[in-house]
């Protein structure tokens, strides 16, 4: 197990889960993806999150992903494991499995299905923090869980040594700044942003990095953007943000639902030859014509960036 830096900083891609079929892991594709992402200089890997389709996978498949990635990474970077479940007992059991496998931390969203209030949410966090055997990151994902970690709950969590940080995927930058303020007295508490379009802004506000789905495709792009934001290099930020936005427009536009991001990333990874585009039920991959269009647009985009900037292409 790699010791978790305090605080964790940089780019921690929410790794997609390559599937041979909706119920079978593509182990070769997973191996290629892990090496591709690590080569980009990322600071860690986040397994079984939203982009990794964690809630849609069987317990057996989740455990297989954990075992395979932890063994392959072999301590090169910290491995964070999503353990969100409708049952806290199941979340704790998966956290225990992740710890035994050698993971570095676990990530827990608010419990889906029941719309709980602040008191219940705070008790949920307290119980989880006391029970899980690894450092715990909270995962604020209100679009999917239908609740968010209110500031009182976050302030309480900051006071729990077992809670190492929070990932915010709300897209609400006022709330994000409030998270930074809530953690101001605890320098080892990390605050990460989810939406990749907000990475530089979040870091400039004092955030510690990004858990950005697009880093599955071009990890070095997001590492470079993070470093430019840390350095305050506004010209470099503008150039790199333009690449992020162009790529997002090219691959995330084929499904209006939030699942469109996952579908687009997997289709692009298939075009790259890294892994297939299969998704877990209830999601289904994009059609052949859409995948071909993504390939053409990404190839054109990479060529355009080369000509205009003389840099490495967006997709390598």
- Residue 111 backbone zone (phi > 0: left; psi -120 to 50: alpha; other: beta): beta
Cα 264–Cα 84–Cα 34 angle in degrees, nearest 5: 45
Q: How far apart are CA 1 and CA 75, in angstroms?
A: 6
Work out whether strand 24-25 and strand 19-21 pair parallel, antiparallel, or are unpaired: antiparallel
Alpha helices of the chain — where are they, by DSSP H?
27-39, 59-73, 88-101, 118-131, 142-145, 151-158, 173-182, 199-204, 219-231, 234-251, 260-272, 288-309
Q: How far apart are CA 54 and CA 56, in angstroms?
A: 5
Q: Which sign, positive or negative, has the C-alpha torsion 145, 84, 266, 105?
A: positive
Q: How far apart are CA 312 and CA 58, in angstroms?
A: 39
How far from the centroid of its chain's Cα atoms is residue 112's Cα?
Answer: 18
Known catalytic residues are 139, 167
């Amino acid at each position: 197990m790699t010791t978790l830096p305090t605080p964790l900083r940089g780019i921690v891609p929410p790794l997609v889960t390559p599937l041979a079929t909706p119920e079978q892991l593509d182990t070769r594709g997973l191996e290629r993806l892990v090496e591709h992402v690590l080569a980009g200089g990322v600071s860690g890997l986040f397994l079984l999150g939203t982009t990794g389709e964690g809630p849609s996978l069987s317990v057996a498949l989740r455990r297989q992903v954990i075992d395979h990635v932890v063994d392959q990474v072999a301590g090169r970077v910290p491995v964070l494991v999503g353990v969100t479940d409708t049952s806290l007992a199941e979340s704790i059991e998966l956290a225990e499995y992740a710890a035994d496998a050698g993971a570095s931390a676990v990530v827990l969203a608010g419990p889906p299905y029941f719309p709980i209030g602040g008191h219940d949410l705070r008790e949920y966090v307290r119980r989880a923090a006391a029970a899980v055997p690894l450092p715990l990151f909270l995962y604020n994902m209100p679009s999917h869980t239908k609740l968010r970690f209110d500031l009182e709950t976050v302030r309480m969590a900051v006071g729990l040594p077992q809670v190492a940080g929070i990932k915010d995927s709300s897209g609400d930058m006022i709330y994000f700044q409030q998270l930074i303020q809530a953690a101001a007295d605890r320098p080892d508490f990390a605050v990460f942003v989810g939406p990749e379009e907000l990475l530089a802004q979040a870091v400039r506000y004092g955030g510690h990095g990004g858990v950005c789905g697009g880093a599955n495709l071009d990890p070095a792009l997001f590492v470079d953007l993070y470093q430019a934001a840390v350095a305050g290099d506004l010209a470099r930020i503008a150039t790199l943000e333009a690449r992020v936005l162009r790529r997002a427009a090219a691959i995330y536009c084929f499904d209006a639902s939030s699942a469109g991001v996952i579908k687009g990333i997997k289709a692009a990874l298939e075009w790259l030859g890294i892994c297939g585009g299969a998704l877990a039920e209830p999601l289904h991959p994009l059609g052949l014509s859409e995948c071909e269009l993504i390939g053409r647009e990404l190839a054109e985009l990479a060529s355009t960036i080369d000509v205009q900037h003389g840099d490495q292409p967006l997709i390598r």
